[in-house]
Amino acid sequence: PPAAGDSPPAAHADADGAKPDGAKADGADDKPPTPSGGEADAQRTPKAFEPTPIALNSVPPLAPLSRRERLCGETVALICAGAEIVDEQCELECLKGLLVAVSSRSFRVHGRALLRVVRTCYNVHLGSKSEVNQATAKASLTQMLTVVFHRLETDDPSTLPPPIVVADVLSKQSGGGKAGDDSFENVAGYVQGLLNKAIADTNAGITAVGVAVGAVDPDDGCVDERRVDNEVTAREFDEDSEPATPKSNVSRSGTTTPRHSVGEGTRAVLCARKTLENDAFLVFRALCKLAKKSGDLTVPAVLRGKTLSLELLKILLANAGPVFATSRRFVDATKTYLCDAVVTNAAPGVPAAYQLSLSIFLTLLDKFRASLKAEIGYFYPLLMLKPLEVVIGAPLAPYTQRQILLQCHRVICGDAQLLVDLFVNYDCDLDSSNLFERAVNSVVRVAQGLPGTAEQTGAELARESMLAGDALGCITK
């Protein structure tokens, strides 16, 4: 924020093409700016590239960005701006560049710059008219998030996970093709080749470490009006970049380290660790916000965006490591943002979103139930039991909803330890609801035949018989 007495920044000063801060009109000049020049730069508005405060919670403030760091941020901003041009080849090349930037061991993208990269790929997936570009955007985004969370778990900003299997990612896409379909296999093979080549060439031609921590104002007027209706704006994507946790000198182990006792090497390690944690937190929170975003789900682009955000959340949770599962910051984010996103999309009117929401909830039951006892006690009856329970005078839940719920109960019944934990932590707790008992009664009721099904004939009777068979499968599993 500007110091007291500074004039307020002018909004969108760069929208007409003005050069970013620190850029030279005549090209290269490697001399560092004089103190007077630095003060002039600090008063020029808007501040295009400034160090994000996210990574500075446990260390003293860093020095102002160097010329190299500003150029790295400008590079990311220019690539993202290029993706807003409605041209298939331009979109594809921008996706390649962003994937290389995020995956690179030398060129590192953090904070707001990382959020803008994710938002750009997300908008290409929503607005591109090319099926190949949509698939490439989804695969690139999945690979980028895998890199971010893999580096969080390994505590290494230079590590690189192996490429994802594009066919597995695209096969889950709403409306996508299936394995064995020639067009699907062609698209998946083409995107897999692009992904492998981009990762193989990640460090080509880069000899020094560059860090991009900021970006030009994302809403700088470069968005094409034909795509703006379905795109995600910066305000929707990330209303604030400050971390939810208070500023303190707390290390990952939970111990407090006095500032005066931290050496330079230790301070650098803590700073790098905090940066990785903040990157993962910001991306996770942004995906939860996107999953909650309201819109007309009859529009294919809106439904595709909601489905994508839920799929990415499911992938992140399914592959979450011990750092994510045990960090108080991520546990609180799961309670605050993810549970809300799951409940928001738990409506049977949109089967794809509904099934993904329940799948995410099953992942929470499987991997995070130790930290979410109160949340599970509230959401489990709401999501898993009430639609199956029979209420006198009330209509039955839709067939598709009951079918999906029985599939979920089949997964739950296949995990003996999960059933024991439900019984011990809820049925044996005088202050909790009897989740295990209600689940058994609901499944048994479906297996016995719901009221009114005896009078049904034809296709309806056949469907109810299938549900009864699924319920029996849950009981015998």
CA distance 394 to 361: 26
Residue 315: per-residue pLDDT: 92
Q: How confident is the model at residue 167 (pLDDT cuts 50, 70, 90)?
A: confident
Span 83-119, pLDDT tens digits: 888 889 999 999 999 998 888 888 888 888 899 999 9
Q: How confident is the model at residue 413 (pLDDT cuts 50, 70, 90)?
A: very high
* pLDDT of 25 over the 80 cut: no
Comparing 300 with 408, the larger pLDDT belongs to: 408
* pLDDT of 223 over the 70 cut: no
Q: What is the mean pLDDT of residues 356-378?
A: 93
Q: What is the mean pLDDT of residues 204-231?
A: 46
* pLDDT of 458 over the 90 cut: no
* pLDDT of 245 over the 80 cut: no
Residue 54: per-residue pLDDT: 37
* pLDDT of 337 over the 90 cut: yes
Residue 210: per-residue pLDDT: 57
Percent of the chain with pLDDT over 90: 34
Residue 157: per-residue pLDDT: 84
Residue 301: per-residue pLDDT: 84
Residue 229: per-residue pLDDT: 52
* pLDDT of 34 over the 50 cut: no
Residue 465: per-residue pLDDT: 85
* pLDDT of 429 over the 80 cut: yes
Comparing 272 with 238, the larger pLDDT belongs to: 272
CA distance 226 to 231: 10
The chain-wide mean pLDDT, for the chain, equals 75
* pLDDT of 60 over the 50 cut: no
Comparing 307 with 59, the larger pLDDT belongs to: 307
Q: Which of 71-80, 215-224, 226-235, 250-259 has the lowest mean pLDDT?
A: 215-224
Comparing 435 with 67, the larger pLDDT belongs to: 435
Residue 391: per-residue pLDDT: 75
Comparing 46 with 67, the larger pLDDT belongs to: 67
Residue 256: per-residue pLDDT: 42
